[in-house]
A and B are shown apart, each in its own frame.
Chain A
Amino acid sequence: MYFLMTLTAAVVATVAWYVNAPDDKYKLGLLSSIFWGAALMWFIDHVMACLTEGGEFFETTADAALLGVSVIILGSIAWLVTLLISDPKGVFAELLKR
């Protein structure tokens, strides 16, 4: 479940990046890369688990869904922290001048 949720987040972030491209003021490219990186790695993880142990490809438990939500929140927080540190709108510089 968390793989599917991360993949969905990656697709949504990529669409948002493309709509604003070539301008990437809000670092949406970074957000989509975070989710794509995890989605690609989990894809291999799930494929290997299926091939070697023959388990189900998608985990449909409440725990897996909660992990998916948590992963998306963590990825978004990582992106937000990077965005606020780089401060592309110069908001903090303006606030500190006052």
Chain B
Amino acid sequence: MPVLSNSILLEEINVACFLVPLGEAIVTTAVQKIMEKKEKQAELHGIQQTGLSWSRKLSWLNRLLWGGVLLLAFEHLWHGEIVPWLPFLTAMNNPADMASMFREIATVGTGMAIFVTTAWAMMVMVADGKTKALSAATAKNKA
């Protein structure tokens, strides 16, 4: 089928890519909850946390992922690629569209998840570096 316009082209490449970040968000939210519990238990046992906690770091990733997923889901709804009734994804009605959908999920969706996670990893590295520098400065001032 010939591509008629750029907007159609963008819709074609966009079928259900947000499902990968959605899956990642579900997993990282569960991991964050587990980490929160572990950190609370460690605190109860008198173990002091040094630096930024993992639950806090993961909360940044979760905010990025859930925020992105919410707005992308709305965009897909706007373009008619998802519907509020079963099977939710309009591409599921046609086997040819399904193949395209799975390809887009594998390429664009995975790309999105990797890019957001990389941006978050860089944020964490910078924040950890700053926390260590602050701790070192505080220790120097005390000595």
Contact = CB atoms under 8 A, between A and B. Distances in A.
Contacts, number: 100
A45 B13 contact: yes
A30 B60 CA distance: 9
Contacts of B107: 48
A37 B14 contact: no
B138 to A, nearest CB: 16
Contacts of A44: 108, 111-112, 115
Interface residues of A, number: 33
A59 B71 contact: no
Interface residues of B, number: 32
A33 to B, nearest CB: 4
B115 A43 contact: yes
Interface in A33-69: 33-38, 40-46, 48-49, 52-53, 55-56, 59, 61, 63-64, 67
Contact of A37 (B10, B17, B63, B75): B63
Q: In terms of DSSP, what is the predominant structure of the interface of chain A?
A: helix
A45 B108 CA distance: 6
Nearest to A79: B67
A37 B9 contact: no
A84 interface: no
Interface in A8-36: 29-30, 33-36
B9 A40 contact: no
A41 B12 CA distance: 16
A79 B75 CA distance: 18
B70 A74 contact: yes
A78 interface: yes
B64 interface: yes
Nearest to B17: A45
